[in-house]
Structure 1
Amino acid sequence: MAEQHGPHLVVFTGAGISAESGIQTFRASDGLWADHAIEDVATPDAWRRDPERVLRFYDMRREQVRRARPNAAHKALAALEKQGFRVSIITQNIDDLHERAGSRQVLHLHGEILKARSSVDPRMHYPLPRGGIRLGDTCDKGSQLRPDVVWFGESVPHFLDACELAAQADLLLVVGTSLAVMPAASLLDHAPLEAPCVLVDPEADALAPPGVARLGQPAGKGVPALVRHWKREGRLWLPESLLG
């Protein structure tokens, strides 16, 4: 691993980058979410009403993540870091595809599905290298284990850390997110005014806020294209030939 140096690339990734690896988003019209209402499986109230149902749902999501593989976008970001660029990733995704691709600096805003955590102490985490969580599985304090994910209606514990990271960006790369989920979408407001920002998404023309450059391509095509330019030039920049 080359020593990281130079300008700091901060990458903010959403569900679109993982969808290209086969992980369905809750906005998709097919897949796991199509048969499950958010209110029944992804809220604190759902957990209180029917924890067994919630655990079964996240067991299915966990197996989906284990079957998935990093795609070209994940691999390109990891390769850029390996070459010595300073790369930090903030992700809304609960999978481990960035890490499996080789990225070392990854901040998960919404938790990690391959971990369990205590129901009474969110600082207590337990890796799940295989299998899932069952009723009766407890933390060291004797409390039922739950998925280490941020449910709808819960606070985002690492949001301030993400804001501090965004504030260090020399260039902000946003990949595969609708910029509709708060508070994560407000991260763009914390980047330095002088830091260029580019959104890579097939719907980038419609989604990009004013002042954000657009690359209307899927993550698996757009991110490697940018990375090739940066590696060839040895610097971070926004090639006009690629951007809309």
Structure 2
Amino acid sequence: AIENDAAQVEGLVVTQDALVEGVHFRLDWISWRDLGWRAAAVNLSDLAASGAEPAGLIVSLAAPGETSVDEVLELYEGIAETGVPVLGGDTTRSDQLLLSVTALGRSERVPGRSGARPGDLLVVSGPLGAAGAAFRNARYLRPPLRLEEGRRLARVASAMLDLSDGLAQDAGHIAARSGVRCAIDLDLVPLADGATVEDLGFGEDYELLAATPDPLGFTVIGRCEEGFGVDGVPTGGWEHFR
């Protein structure tokens, strides 16, 4: 489970992500409301990649002493806009803003990353590159919620994850875990408005990438083959601690 998008614990699908000011966001580029949505959505994206129905969120907030009550309320209003209830959490003081969210859900079938087979098609749930294009213009986008799409794909997908680290990097996770080559046709990759091919390596699109024998109407961008690694897309992507 450690190498998948979420862990499975006694019938629950559990995932956790932390957002740290100065590492994952800048407050002069994002509103408190959008930050709340973002903190919830990046975790719900892991549930989507697990084919899960969300049950709730646990939210821990560490904030500087000068943070106002109105700012905190706006943050939680953004979380509430996802439609997933906050079940609990913690609040404390710190020198910089840190927001840690744990998402809980249930799934009938979690595809994971290790089941892709030669002949599977590679599909994505939506256009890519929007986050990179926005970052070039000193702003962040609200990540999409692909929960319904994730549940549909989970019924048939051999492997699935969310695109948080860039197309090449995340396709590489499936290739490495499944022992296949992910051959991507760049001409088939749908680009978001204003995005370029270079933006595919930025990450943070939070669309789903699945290897599946049945595309279910989702956009096909390549296929799995015998071999290893990723072909057809520029290398690069987000790596922690680099």
Q: TM-score normalized by structure 2?
A: 0.24
Q: Which has the higher strand share?
A: 2
Q: Which has the higher helix share?
A: 1
Q: TM-score normalized by structure 1?
A: 0.24
